[in-house]
Amino acid sequence: MADTYEATAAPPATGTSTEAAPRARARRSRGRAPWWFMIPALILYAYVVLIPSVRGAGYAFTDWSGLGDAMSFVGLENFRKILDDSAATDALVQTVLITLAITIVQNLIGLLLALGVHTQIKSRNFLRVLLFAPAVMTPVVTAYLWRYMYAPDGAINGLFEAVGLGGLAQNWLGDPDIALWSVAAIVIWQFAGYSMVIFLAGLQGVPRELHEAAGVDGAGAFQRFWHITRPMLAPAITINLMLSLIGGFKIFDQVYVTTGGGPGHSTETLSTLIYKNAFQFDEYAYSTAIAVVLAVIVAAVSAVQYRGLQQQKGAA
């Protein structure tokens, strides 16, 4: 992988002649970025994702159990069933809650971390690695680790007691009122560094001179951020919000390993419910219907968010 990187890391072209720009604009329509560049990506994507997903979605209109040849068309029956299934509606509400918590907190922390290490501090390189380290681990691994840490006599409660805050000790995953937030905290811990890296990549695009000029003008740190940094970060913000929203809606590993959706159904999310129906309840077709609903919800939310950001960008 390092070799690959070596090969692609040619120095960027420099010394653009500014007088060339007007002439270039005239030639823009000459197919500078031909559409056929997309073909290899489209073929792979269609073969692995699009076509199988459409074929898979077909099961949602049948009564297939997941095994055997017995299958008949049942129309929208499975979708009607979702409305009557309190486990499904609860899971939807909990999925929305955990997604909101993750999207907001993870990105806020990620942004603060990025701003913190995008400075002259001596530990910046070290911190960039350290803060990103959790994101490198398999979610299943971190979930195991946190399950261990969240145990009633585990590391978290132990830490609280060690610093004299024993009163803050909780039954982190066993109390149905806080279990969902405990799971959200795992995701935030793991992926705040991930958001940070994307923000950092965006921050590199903000010329330091601009910051320094603003500093001389006496602009406050917040104003500098709002008027100079934030607009430049727009692509990073879009990507981060989109990724954490989608990741939140699809959250599976962290929930499944720590609580399995429990206690009761208090941390059940749409993905854990899909998994259980598909492989444990013998209700493959029904699980597919929930998956279709999940896809529609995520698409709708993403569309609204994308549109909102586009408009904001236009206004800025």
Partner 1 sequence: MKRLTLGASCVLVAGVALAGCSSTVTPPGSTGASSGSTIRLSAVASDKEAIEGTIAAFEKANPGVKVQATFADVDPYQSTLRTQLSSGTAPDVFFAWPGNGNAGAVEVLAPGGYMEDLSNRPWAAKIPEGLKQVTQVDGKTWITPTTFTGIGVIYNKKTLADVGGEVPTTWTGVLELCDAAKAKGKVAFALGNQTPWVTQLVDYALVATTVYANSPNFDADMAAGKATFAGSGWKTAMEKYLEMNKRGCFSKDPLGTSFESAVAQVGKGEAVGVVQVTAVATQIKEASPAGAELAMFALPATDNPDETRMPGAAGGAYAVNAKSPNKELALKFVDFLAEPANMNAYATVANAAPAIPNDSFTPDAAFQTLIDHQQAGKTATFMDQLWPNPKVQQVHLTGVQDLFSGKATPDEVLAEMDETYKSG
Partner 2 sequence: MSRYTRKTLLLEILMIAVGLAFAFPIYVLVNLSVRRAGDTSSPIAPTTSPTLANYADAWNAAGLAGALGNSIAVTAISLVVIILVSSLAAYPLARATARWSRWAFLLFALGLLLPAQLALIPLYQSVRDLGLLGTVWSLVLFYCGLQVPFSVFLYAGFLRAIPAQYEEAAAIDGCGPVRTFFSVVFPLLRPVTGTVAILNAIFIWNDFLTPLLYLSGSPQQTIPVAVFQFVGQYVADWQLVFAGLVISVVPILLVYFLMQKRIIQGFAGGLKG
Ranges within 257-316 binding partner 2 (CB under 8 A): 271, 274-275, 278, 287-288, 291-292, 294-295, 298-299, 302, 306
Q: Using the rule CB under 8 A, which residue among 88, 182, 193, 272 binds partner 2?
A: 193
Per partner kind, with CB cut-offs from 5 to 8 A, the member of partner 1, partner 2, none near residue 263 is partner 1
Half-sphere exposure at residue 172, Cβ-oriented, CA atoms within 13 angstroms: 23
Structure tokens at 96: 């929305």
Min dist. Cβ of residue 83 to partner 2 (A)? 19
CA 52 to chain CA mean position, Å: 23
Structure tokens at 2: 């390092």
Identify whether the C-beta of residue 257 lies closer than 8 Å to the C-beta of residue 143. yes
* Interacting positions 164-223 with partner 1 (CB under 8 A): 171-176
Assess 219 for contact with partner 2 (CB under 8 A). no
Site string for partner 1, 230-259 (x = CB under 8 A): --------------------------x--x
d(CA 286, CA 283): 5
Q: Computed over its alpha carbons, how large is the radius of gyration of the chain?
A: 24
- The DSSP output letter for 29 is G
- At position 110, the amino acid (one-letter code) is G
Identify whether the C-beta of residue 146 lies closer than 8 Å to the C-beta of residue 186. yes
Site string for partner 2, 77-116 (x = CB under 8 A): ------------------------------------x--x
Assess 185 for contact with partner 2 (CB under 8 A). no
Cβ neighbour number for residue 225 with a 10 Å cutoff: 17
Residues that bind partner 1 (CB under 8 A): 4, 7-8, 10-11, 40, 44, 66-69, 147-148, 150-153, 171-176, 256, 259-266, 275-276, 278-282
